[in-house]
Amino acid sequence: MANLRQRYEQDLKEVLKKEFSYKNPFQVPNLGKIVVSCGLGEATTEPKIIDTVSEQLAKICGQKPVPTIAKKSISAFRLKKGDQIGLKVTLRGAKMYDFLEKLVRIILPRLRDFRGVKEQSFDSRGNYTIGIREMTIFPEVEYTKGEKTRGLEITIVTTAKKNEEAKRLLELLGIPFSKEGVRH
């Protein structure tokens, strides 16, 4: 069975070209990158959390995460400019396609009461974000008792100009959409 990248190159590109009547093959939308991020607001009081979550994200994505830094101080959140407030991993190329395949075939079906992802989670530029409430649905992450469950966001960045084009691309790549969507 061909992997996701090969299927896109061999079959899906042509399907999209016909459906949207593209004249030039470079107009066909494709995946640019996938960004997996996790906010860690409590990292300002408990710095050990960063190491733990960094390890978990590295296992999930197969790549070391980079810290996200606060751009300005917000006293209500006890946040100072320059504080580390999260982690993110940017996946491209083969790792991106491997992660998307794992997400579609293993992770999303493991969600309780899953009936598809929301169509409304597109931004106006053809990018799609999925919020996952618990990292523990990834088989690489071991849950230890007493540990707080953390969520993460997965943003799929496409080269599509419109949401309809991006949605069709993601449907062809295997993302299951539902009309009403289920919170997860």
Q: Do 59 and 99 contact (CB within 8 A), yes or no?
A: no
User: CA-based Rg of the chain, rounded to a whole angstrom?
Assistant: 18
CA 108 to chain CA centroid, Å, is 12
Q: What is the pTM of this model?
A: 0.86
Tell me the pLDDT tens digit for each residue of 67-79: 887 787 777 777 6
Tell me the pLDDT tens digit for each residue of 4-24: 888 888 899 999 999 999 898
Tell me the pLDDT tens digit for each residue of 29-47: 999 999 999 988 776 667 7
- Give me the number of domains the chain comprises: 1
**Does 173 fall in a domain?**
yes
**Does 104 fall in a domain?**
yes
**Does 163 fall in a domain?**
yes
**Does 174 fall in a domain?**
yes
If phi > 0 it is left, if psi is from -120 to 50 it is alpha, else beta; for residue 55 that is alpha
Handedness of CA 92, 94, 97, 99 (dihedral sign): negative
Dist CA 171 CA 138 (whole Å) = 22
pLDDT at 144: 65
**Does 98 fall in a domain?**
yes
pLDDT at 181: 43
pLDDT at 129: 92
At 182, is the pLDDT very low, low, confident or very high (cuts 50, 70, 90)? Answer: very low
Q: What is the DSSP code (8-state) at residue 149? A: P
**Does 18 fall in a domain?**
yes
* pLDDT at residue 164 greater than cutoff 70: yes
CB neighbourhood size of 173 (10 A): 21
pLDDT at 112: 78
Tell me the pLDDT tens digit for each residue of 113-146: 788 888 888 888 889 999 888 888 888 877 665 5
Dist CA 104 CA 112 (whole Å) = 15
**Does 183 fall in a domain?**
no
Handedness of CA 85, 34, 29, 18 (dihedral sign): negative
Strand boundaries in 23-164, DSSP class E: 31-39, 66-69, 84-91, 117-118, 128-132, 152-158
Tell me what the pLDDT averaged over the chain comes to: 84
* pLDDT at residue 99 greater than cutoff 90: yes
CATH at residue 15: 3.30.1440.10
Task: Show the domain range for 36.
Answer: 4-178
**Does 184 fall in a domain?**
no
- Tokens 């299951």 locate to 176
